[in-house]
Structure 1
Amino acid sequence: MVYKFILTFICACCCGTMVYGQQVKTNNPLDIPLGDPYILFDKPSDQYYLYGTGGTENGFVVYSSKDLSSWTKQGVIYSSKQATAWGTKDFWAPEVYAYNGKYYLFYSAHWKDNPTNELENYRIGVAVSDKPTGPFNDMTGNPLFDPGYPIIDANVYFAEDGKRYLYYSRCCYKHPVQSEIAKWAKDKGMYNEIEESWVYGVELAADFSGVIGEPKLLLRPPVKKDDQQAEWESRSVTSGEVNRRWTEGSYLFKHNDLYYMMYSANHFAGENYAVGYATAKDPLGPFTKSAFNPILQKNTDKGGVVSGTGHNSVLITKNGERLCVYHGRTTKTGDQRLVFIDPLTITKDGQLQVKGPTVRSGIGGKSRK
């Protein structure tokens, strides 16, 4: 009996992810051409719903699954053609939350109210539906709020005390920042200035109609070159790829008494896109970045086939397993961003670890990290 149990356990671990005795086979990368993926587990329908950037012009689509392996496209859930739409293009990073019998879609788009013709006039909107498959309609016909600068990548946290918090990224656009990395790049004759994106947090109104108080800066790229985060967060600059450093795609969750904020750095369209995390005792910080960053990055420099790993979300399955959902590319599938799902674990000392990137046989040989 003991031998049989051990053999069954080993076989299951080799083929997929064990979830309290059940196997979740994620089959990376999923044959789903989306970026910025987010998965909702919907209790009423006992199904998973996958949302992301792409799949339709100026809107969003959704896929459904019972097992996180086999997915069915359910069609378009949101379109800018609706009468209350405020966005015109670049519909990005959707996240859907079930609350009080309704489903709320938070997303980024280019705002039509653009008197100065800004190239990046992004804001965050909220749409609502009776079903996770939509259709979703904008609540007000306007962005959630206007901080006076372009913002993307909304993430919402529902706190235990009933408060709600919105996290977002200020775009790099027209946001040059002085730093030792910026000086290094200028001295090298690479770039005259380095633009940066920063992550902010703010309390969200209970009815999602707006924000409460002023946004608070939570995360930004390092100022000093000797900061241990500077090397990996500056790769898009130091490689000569682009004159920008990103801190975006944030996702907040709580474990024990600690708040974990996962985030992505480097160019979303480049090979160096990677994920790190920071921790805090309060939903609005201050946050301290982990000494173990990055915890998810390309493996092409180590004989693997995956690059551009980033903009993750976290899924707690119906069986209680914590999974990291993110997009990436492979040398076989090309530049198209595809969805990956890998286990996310927390060690006894509180360290986050993503067991990936992994790929199925036929993409890059046997599954490897």
Structure 2
Amino acid sequence: MRKHVLILVYVVFALTPLTAQRRMPGVRTDIPLDSIRLSDPFILADKPTATYYMTGTGGMIWKSRDLKRWTGPFRAVSFNPHSWMGARPMIWAAELHHYHGKYYYFATFTNAAIKIDTFRGRVIDRRACHILVSDRPDGPYVPMADSIYLPADKSTLDATFWIENDMPYMIYCHEWLQNWNGTVEKIRLKPDLSGSVGEGKVLFRASDSPWSREELNGKVVPNRVTDGPFVFRTQTGRLGMLWTSWVFNVYTQGVAYSASGTLAGPWIQEKAPITPPNFGHGMLFRSFDGKLLMAIHSHRVDEKGHTIRIPCLFEMDDSGDKLVVKKRYQPK
């Protein structure tokens, strides 16, 4: 399991019959964003429906017209319980993407009943990135042709989407628990995203970061975690990537830029994090009134040791060669 991650909810539908991993609360309306507990928030601003759709770890969907008040959570995922995912997979870091008239659901699924490896004495569960499809932004999202996108013996997570030279790619992390130095990688996708093409290629490693740190065996070393990649271009055309790691016990949002302007890199890490401490797993979207916003979650541990993660928004500036955080954004 990812370092310090709290799985808030494990909910998913089976194709037939419909079952849930655990009982969810009823749908609520008029909920402020800061009253929702959610890790890894991802917001799709869907113009055809004039609605914002938010998902994340747990796989549920929230809806809003104004980013201020939200309705949810809604179940949105269907899957085959006889697949490698099993009947009750965990869902992490879900994303929603509109592409060629369809809506796609990128997520990490974990089946703890299947073990794929033992690394440094730790048993590794079957965990992998997968893509589902729907005709609607709120689902139901269902499997496509390929049963797997990445090798079955490889623990991967936090997939996101990028298009380069009209070719679709999945960007994802190879988990540090299996390689001791987490990576961000890319793999080409089929034109309809129904499967992958070829093999994954490493873009950069956790140890490339100049800012992430941890203490290991009495020594301060680069942190091993790569988490939550998200690719973007500034208005000047510079290719960048948000990603998250740790500075000791502080969850931290960093950014890197491609020297070649392509996914191939090389990726040059910024010297300092981009957001204040205890924020991470950010993504970018443009609001219906044209503001560039970062959706991200805050991270804290309460007095009882429980991890609290709440989605929040920052207003961003991408007019130059570097992404800049302007201020915390409060919807009106």
Which residue is equivalent to 2:257?
279
Deviation at residue 172 of structure 1 after TM alignment = 1.1
Q: CA deviation at 1:29?
A: 6.1
SS in 1 for 2:138: coil
Give me the whole-angstrom Cα distance separating, in 1, the residues matched to 2:102 and 2:83.
18
Instruction: Please name the residue that 1:352 is paired with.
Output: 323
In structure 2, distance between residues paired with 1:93 and 1:33: 14
Residue in 2 aligned with 1:90?
Answer: 90
The answer to which structure has the higher strand fraction is: 2
Which string of whole-angstrom CA distances, capped at 9 and with x for unpartnered residues, describes residues 14-60 of structure 1? Answer: xxxxxxxxxxxxx9962111101100011111010000113xxxxx2
Distance between the aligned counterparts of 1:199 and 1:78, measured in 2? 26
More divergent stretch after superposition (74-83 vs 247-256): 74-83
Matches within 5 A, 1:59-78: 60-78=59-77
Alignment-derived partner of residue 109 in structure 1: 109
Structure 1: distance between partners of 2:207 and 2:176: 15
Q: Secondary structure in 2 aligned to 1:86?
A: coil
User: Partners of 1:78 and 1:326 in 2: how far apart?
Assistant: 22
Choose the corresponding residue for 1:341, options 313, 317, 327: 313
* Aligned counterparts of 2:196 and 2:226: Cα–Cα separation in 1: 21
Residue by residue, what CA displacement relative to the aligned partner does 1:222-277 show, whole Å, maximum 9, x if unpaired? 36xxxxx43x311465999999621221000122321111110128xx85111111
Counterpart for residue 125 of structure 2 = 120
**Alpha-carbon spacing, 1:246–1:259, altered in 2? closer, same or farther (3 Å):** same
Question: 1:222 aligned to 2:207?
Answer: yes
- Report the residue type matching 1:71 in the other structure: W
Report the equivalent of 1:201: 186
Match of 1:12 in 2: none
1:123 and 1:151 in contact (8 A); partners too: yes
Deviation at 1:85, TM superposition (A): 6.8
CA gap 1:67/1:154 in 2 versus in 1, 3 angstroms: same
Q: Report how many aligned residue pairs link the two structures.
A: 290
Alignment of 1:152-231 (within 5 A): 152-159=157-164, 161-175=165-179, 195-222=180-207, 229-230=209-210
Contact 1:126–1:143 (8 Å) recurs in 2: no
> Equivalents in 2 of 1:33, 1:162: separation in Å?
36
Q: How far is the alpha carbon of 1:341 from its aligned partner?
A: 0.7
Match of 1:143 in 2: 148
Q: Is the 8 A contact 2:37 2:308 kept in 1?
A: yes
Unaligned runs of 5+ in 1: 1-26, 55-59, 176-194, 224-228, 299-306, 361-369
Partner Cα distance (2:218, 2:232) in 1? 32
Q: Secondary structure at the match of 1:44?
A: helix
- For the residues of structure 1 that align with 2:323 and 2:47, how far apart are their CA atoms? 27
Cα 1:64–1:125 change in 2 (3 A) is: same
1:261 is the counterpart of 2:246? no
Report the counterpart of residue 3 of structure 1 in structure 2.
Answer: none
1:296–1:356: 8 Å Cα contact kept in structure 2?
Answer: no
Structure 1 residues 237 and 89, CA gap change in structure 2 (3 angstroms): farther
Larger Rg: 1
Q: Deviations over 1:160-194 (max 9, x none)?
A: x311111100001232xxxxxxxxxxxxxxxxxxx
Q: Which amino acid aligns with 1:86?
A: M
2:285 to 303, 306, 315: 315
Distance 1:50 1:237 in 2: 36
CA distance in 2, matches of 1:356, 1:240: 36
Identity of aligned residues (%): 26
Give the Cα–Cα distance (whole angstroms) in 1 for the partners of residues 267 and 116 of structure 2. Answer: 36
Aligned equivalent of 2:15: none
Aligned partner of 1:77: which letter?
Answer: A
**Which amino acid is 2:237 matched to?**
D
Secondary structure of 1:245's partner? coil
Structure-2-length-normalised TM-score? 0.77
What's the RMSD between the two structures over aligned residues? 3.2
* Change beyond 3 A, Cα 1:147–1:163: farther
Q: TM-score scaled to structure 1, two decimals?
A: 0.69
Cα separation, partners in 2 of 1:121 and 1:297, compared to 1, 3 Å: farther
Task: Describe the SS at the equivalent of 2:173.
Answer: strand
